[in-house]
Structure 1
Amino acid sequence: MVDKNRVGGAGDKAGGKIKEAAGKLTGDEKLRAEGKADQVKGGVKSAVGGAADALKGK
């Protein structure tokens, strides 16, 4: 079973990409920065979930 952090991380990454694109499109630098931050947060969550999955397998 996949760790919930991996799933949540993927969602954060996707949402962040959408926010970043919307910020670029509208010229809203704050929204663009929030999108990038969400992508980083999602990457961290995914890494934590991956580590948890690896530990479950041992």
Structure 2
Amino acid sequence: MKSSTNDQVEGKFHKVKGKIKEIAGKVSENPGLEAEGKDEKRAGKVQEKIGQVKKVMGK
């Protein structure tokens, strides 16, 4: 199982990566890439929250 810090770092990474894809999709008028970026950004937020919960729970 991943540590809370790793989850938080990976979550932030995926949020940034998703935001970049989202912007690239808007600029290139590629709705598929934009949607992929939004999905990755949401997944990053979830992973970051999981890391925060693990930290509070002491895992």
Pair in the same fold by TM > 0.5 = yes
TM-score, structure 2 normalization = 0.89
* Residue equivalent to 1:5: 7
Query: Is the Cα–Cα contact under 8 Å of residues 9 and 48 in structure 2 kept in the other structure?
Result: yes
- CA distance in 2 between counterparts of 1:9 and 1:15 reads 10
1:3 Cα deviation from its structure 2 partner: 1.8
- Of 27, 30, 33, the match for 1:31: 33
Question: Deviation string for 1:8-55 (max 9, x for gaps)?
Answer: 000000000000000000000000000000000001000100000111
Query: How far did 1:2 drift?
Result: 5.3
Give, in whole Å, the separation in 2 of the partners of 1:13 and 1:29.
18
Instruction: Look up the match of 1:47.
Output: 49
Using the size of structure 1 for normalisation, the TM-score is 0.91
4+ aligned runs moved over 4 Å, structure 1: none
Which structure 2 segments of 5+ residues have no match?
A: none
Counterparts of 2:20 and 2:46, CA distance in 1: 18
User: Which structure 1 residue ranges, 5 or more long, are not aligned?
Assistant: none
